[in-house]
Structure 1
Amino acid sequence: MTQNAETGTALYVVSEYGEFSSLLALAKVVRAQLGLHPAFLFKHDYGALNVHTQQLDVLGYSWVSARRAGLHTKHAASGGEDDYVPSYVRSTREPKPGRSRSRTAATLTWLASIGAVATAPILPVAALAALVFRRARGSALLAVFKRFARRHPGVVRWQYQKLIDEMRKVFEIFRPSIVIAGQDYPLSTTSMASLVAEERGLRTAIVPFSMTPTTKEIAESFAGSRFNLLRGKLKSRLIKEAFPQWVNHYRGRDYTRLSLPEILVAEELRLTGPIPWVPNSGRGILLLPGQQSMEYCASAGISGDQLRITGALWSDQIWRKSSSKGQRRDDLIYDIDSFSSSYRTTNLLPPVNYPEGTKLLLVSWPPDQAPRTPTGLADFSELSDALGELLSRIHYSGMARVAISLHPTLMGRSLQMDLRERGLYLVDQQLVDVIDSADIFLATVSSTLLWSLQLEVPSVNLDIYRYGYREFSDAGILDVTSMADLRTTLLALLRRPGYYDEVRGKLAGTRGHWGLFDGHSTERIITELSRLM
């Protein structure tokens, strides 16, 4: 039931860039349906803080970050008409209480002035020396301190205890009715928020912002850089005996989920779930998109009491747009053709005739996964060149119209210019707003492939970094691991008789296992959040 007045606060925990958009969309719905004012808590080293808090400020939502001394609370309000009057003018309107100045204070001020004059010639030299020292030694000293901090449980414990104390202050300010996050893992901001919430008798809901994360996902990221690789027989034996749940054997090697000092602190401060290698296995109640997620979480050891199938918010976003699909597709095709015509005219190229029924290939551009390298290529730059060349040939041969969606983290001027110089059209809408216009969808190990699955759009997972996740192929999505395989697969979808329809038919048979695509996911999510409160 919609409430016009705000009756409480929901605290949204943001740890990663990808979570924000999903949680912001949810916050708008929760505010409208449950009357809960949105307050966002950002991880202390959150990279996109300025960009995302600007959006919250415009909406009038509250936010806080451990890196900011000032807190924006829901009680902060405009000063009214006085905001339009200079502060000096406002100050003259209000009588100031009289001030008495003691002789001692006056004497101290006088002595300080003399000292400042006497030391003035020395200060620039001292400041310059300090600057040189900081630049020459600062990085090295900081690196030494970080190594020391990582290896000493006392320092690590102090750091996290301080963050927990700050978290308690945040709860005192906002007094939330519920905590909502997109993910949870050991020593995360969510783990601290859920701990404090538990102390106050509150519940935490995890609303995943992407495909259900798995142990393989974590292990792959560790194996790529040998992060937390367990070395040394004595150390390995000690950790395996004392903390077996923190060790995972993968590709012939043993890895720990955290370093040994961090493990000790996570256990002591209760900032971890019972199965550290299973994402979201902490205190939170998981609101899952479909049966596949439920089965995985249960098989990985998460208690059934923590699992709820609700569907996903993005599913309803796609569902609601279905009535305008035809017009939006026509508009997108018009934009693509207009840009292509301009490019051909500028470069003196002959026109391209797209026959009736020409397919539209929508591409979610692959991310840079350094230090991993793309299969058969040196780096991300070579991958971008190779993919851009392939898509340009497909587009200007008339086989398919091509549109490209860049993730916000890839919106650098250089990549945009390179793609436009190849005559490739970049969509400026969000991907969720255009994906139903596609006949073929291409992405790289992305949860957006579930969006195309809902729409039964034949899709290709370009696993160019060799993660090997089986979820995509299980869902009927085509997996390729090299540029040569990608070319072969795209040409088959575009030119081989019957192949496109065959792939689409398989999607229709699997999609129901992966999500609830009925337009009622938002209702189920709101119902579960209400129960948790």
Structure 2
Amino acid sequence: MKTIAFYALAAKHCRDLLALAKMMAPLVDARMVFYLPGGAAFADVEVAVKEAGFDCVNRKSVTLRPGTKRHPLIRKSLDAVMTAYVTGRRYVQQVQLKFEALKTDASGSKFESKVDQHMKAHASLVTRHRKFLDEVKPDYIFTESDRSSADLLLLLQECKKRGVKIVLPHLVWSSAHGELWFNRVRYGRCLLSNFQLTRFSSAQKKKMFGEIENHAYRGVTFFPVAETVALNKSVANFTPSWVSGTGMADVVCVDSEFTRKRIVSQGVPESKICEVGDVSYDYLYACQVDREARLKSLRSVYQLAEGRKIVICSLPQYIKLNFDSKKQYCQEMDALLERIALPDVECLVSLHPMARENEIKHVLDKHGAKVLKERLFDVLPLADAFVASASSTLTWALAAGVPAINIDYYRVAAVTKGFWDDFTCLSQVKAPEQLEQALRTALDSDLDFTHDWHLLSRDALFDGNTASRYAEIVK
């Protein structure tokens, strides 16, 4: 009997892996073991794993990064950084100089102390990872990425040494260089110039930064600079993987031909790629097959008027992502719902997994929008139109034959510029005043999804058999 391990650093991705494991379990003769990072965020995941009948190993959390506080300059510089990325203007150096004023590591000794702290944390992690791998002896490990953290890199390195096959299931669309670069710039700790412009001697610079400069992208390291230096010492042949799939993964699963072409263009070897579909597609497919009965139930549960068209809006959640204050966020969502929750439609809202309903309840009540209690993929095919912002769920709608609208005027949407241009049944809304008309057009038009379905490999992969294709990987 083979053994399959599952590991993710985000609780949401652990739940996604659990859903995949449940679907695969009847199809493969294998022991399935979840390796959880530990901590309060994973307590409910551990309970769910055990209830599903899978083995669970919970390691204690290890603090990887010394605590740092973000400086107000970072928020003030955010718009300038975003403008630099989107427009190509050369504001970056000015922003870097502002960050440099923080003097986060003004002396070589302080910096080297941080490197030592990271190396000690890495050593502790390696010990725990080795213990898990030696006890469980997995043949495969399913994980969220081969780039996301030092924790994951160290685990995958140990897997490689033992011949464990590394599989990246399709959990979410991964960001490419541009968006990652932006996210790392705003925290400051990944800017090489922060450290090279401070009071380091030439010898210190050469010693500490000489080997990692080739790992940087546009003067920014994927991991914080101190951690990058530590990883360069801890990981053999260390090369940070800016694009998920270009690192130590053996198999990279994708949801469509569209995604395959996109990640190949970003450097992922074609030999690694396996088109399996999206686990969410199986839920969407089941909903579409039973559409009439489920639509009747949905109207009854939420008291939706017969004859009115249904609009589902996946509200963007920017508070937890530090893009807006709560007040600004509520103002933006108020303006958004003003144009979506029209008098002659029924508006249902799907909240982001990180969102809290009480943060925005007064805005929802004002517009009569109702919050979905079901998972989005269990109801999305019932909608007459779907609205979201820079979200992979837009392709769920297209795969289910639901007209989609991408809100493309929020700042975060700029980093996915051009991403949706190939889809014909997806409207790009570039300004708030265009939204209502785009929604009316989507509701009233009889769209031909043939082109979009070809991009999404719908005929081959939208069939309720995604789990079977994953099972083939481990047989």
TM-score grouping bracket, smaller chain normalisation: 0.7 to 0.9
**Who is 2:452 aligned against?**
510
For the residue of structure 1 that corresponds to 2:217, the secondary structure is: strand
Q: Which amino acid aligns with 1:361?
A: V
> Shift of the alpha carbon at 1:189?
3.4
Map Cα deviations across residues 133-188 of structure 1 (whole Å, 9 max, x no partner): xxxxxx999x9xx9757863222111111101111111233232211012221544
Q: Is the 8 A contact 2:212 2:232 kept in 1?
A: no
> Shift of the alpha carbon at 1:419?
1.9
Are positions 1:436 and 2:387 aligned together?
no
CA distance in 2, matches of 1:205, 1:180: 5
> Shift of the alpha carbon at 1:66?
3.2
Q: Is the 8 A contact 1:461 1:479 kept in 2?
A: yes
CA distance in 2, matches of 1:387, 1:140: 35
Q: Is the 8 A contact 2:347 2:370 kept in 1?
A: yes
Match runs of 1:242-257 below 5 Å: 242-249=211-218, 254-257=219-222
Match runs of 1:406-445 below 5 Å: 406-416=351-361, 418-420=363-365, 422-445=367-390
**Who is 1:474 aligned against?**
422
Match runs of 1:107-506 below 5 Å: 152-185=114-147, 187-226=149-188, 228-231=190-193, 234=196, 242-249=211-218, 254-270=219-235, 274=239, 276-284=241-249, 285-337=251-303, 356=307, 358-369=308-319, 370-373=321-324, 379-392=328-341, 394=342, 397-398=343-344, 400-416=345-361, 418-420=363-365, 422-463=367-408, 464-468=410-414, 469=416, 470-476=418-424, 477-494=426-443, 500-501=445-446, 504-505=447-448
Structure 1 residues 518 and 151: alpha-carbon distance in aligned structure 2, compared to 1, 3 A threshold = farther
For the residue of structure 1 that corresponds to 2:348, the secondary structure is: strand
Structure 1 residues 58 and 523: alpha-carbon distance in aligned structure 2, compared to 1, 3 A threshold = closer
CA distance in 1, matches of 2:40, 2:406: 28
> Shift of the alpha carbon at 1:388?
3.6
**Who is 1:16 aligned against?**
10
> Shift of the alpha carbon at 1:241?
6.1
Q: Is the 8 A contact 2:389 2:413 kept in 1?
A: no
> Shift of the alpha carbon at 1:324?
0.7
CA distance in 1, matches of 2:233, 2:373: 48
**Who is 2:46 aligned against?**
53
> Shift of the alpha carbon at 1:367?
0.7
Q: What RMSD over aligned residues (CA atoms) do the two structures have, in Å?
A: 3.3
CA distance in 2, matches of 1:430, 1:336: 15
Structure 1 residues 186 and 454: alpha-carbon distance in aligned structure 2, compared to 1, 3 A threshold = closer
For the residue of structure 2 that corresponds to 1:256, the secondary structure is: coil
Map Cα deviations across residues 348-385 of structure 1 (whole Å, 9 max, x no partner): xxxxx76x4x32101112112543249xx962122233
CA distance in 1, matches of 2:157, 2:357: 39
CA distance in 2, matches of 1:167, 1:233: 32
Map Cα deviations across residues 455-512 of structure 1 (whole Å, 9 max, x no partner): 12111122323432122232332222443332342244346xxxx33xx32x431232
Match runs of 1:18-33 below 5 Å: 18-33=12-27
Q: Is the 8 A contact 1:403 1:424 kept in 2?
A: yes
CA distance in 2, matches of 1:204, 1:193: 10
For the residue of structure 2 that corresponds to 1:48, the secondary structure is: helix
> Shift of the alpha carbon at 1:193?
2.4
Q: Is the 8 A contact 2:314 2:349 kept in 1?
A: yes
CA distance in 2, matches of 1:140, 1:312: 37
For the residue of structure 2 that corresponds to 1:472, the secondary structure is: coil
Q: Which amino acid aligns with 1:282?
A: G
> Shift of the alpha carbon at 1:62?
2.8
Structure 1 residues 456 and 365: alpha-carbon distance in aligned structure 2, compared to 1, 3 A threshold = same
In the superposition, the TM-score normalised over structure 2's length comes to: 0.78
For the residue of structure 2 that corresponds to 1:337, the secondary structure is: coil
Q: Is the 8 A contact 2:287 2:294 kept in 1?
A: no
Structure 1 residues 439 and 205: alpha-carbon distance in aligned structure 2, compared to 1, 3 A threshold = same
Map Cα deviations across residues 187-220 of structure 1 (whole Å, 9 max, x no partner): 4433222222222221110012112432223123
> Shift of the alpha carbon at 1:295?
1.9
> Shift of the alpha carbon at 1:223?
4.2
CA distance in 2, matches of 1:140, 1:517: 45
Map Cα deviations across residues 70-128 of structure 1 (whole Å, 9 max, x no partner): xxxxxxxxxxxxxxxxxxxxxxxxxxxxxxxxxxxxxxxxxxxxxxxxxxxxxxxxxxx
CA distance in 2, matches of 1:333, 1:29: 29
Q: Which amino acid aligns with 1:472?
A: W
Q: Which moved more, 1:207-216 or 1:154-163?
A: 207-216
**Who is 2:37 aligned against?**
43
For the residue of structure 2 that corresponds to 1:172, the secondary structure is: helix
CA distance in 2, matches of 1:221, 1:521: 32
> Shift of the alpha carbon at 1:336?
3.2
Question: Matched residues, percent identical?
Answer: 17
Q: Which amino acid aligns with 1:451?
A: W
Q: Is the 8 A contact 1:187 1:272 kept in 2?
A: no
Map Cα deviations across residues 9-54 of structure 1 (whole Å, 9 max, x no partner): 321111123312321111112322113233222335x662122222
Q: Which amino acid aligns with 1:511?
A: W
Structure 1 residues 289 and 300: alpha-carbon distance in aligned structure 2, compared to 1, 3 A threshold = same
CA distance in 1, matches of 2:44, 2:170: 22
> Shift of the alpha carbon at 1:267?
2.7
Q: Is the 8 A contact 1:212 1:293 kept in 2?
A: no
In structure 1, runs of 5+ residues without a counterpart are: 1-6, 70-138, 339-352
CA distance in 2, matches of 1:489, 1:168: 54
CA distance in 2, matches of 1:140, 1:296: 35
Q: Which amino acid aligns with 1:243?
A: I
Structure 1 residues 391 and 336: alpha-carbon distance in aligned structure 2, compared to 1, 3 A threshold = farther
CA distance in 1, matches of 2:44, 2:428: 35
Q: Which moved more, 1:20-29 or 1:291-300?
A: 291-300
Q: Is the 8 A contact 1:151 1:261 kept in 2?
A: no
Map Cα deviations across residues 224-271 of structure 1 (whole Å, 9 max, x no partner): 55552332695699688643542222xxxx322123332223233327
Q: Which amino acid aligns with 2:32?
A: P
In the superposition, the TM-score normalised over structure 1's length comes to: 0.70
**Who is 2:92 aligned against?**
none
For the residue of structure 2 that corresponds to 1:478, the secondary structure is: strand
> Shift of the alpha carbon at 1:434?
0.1
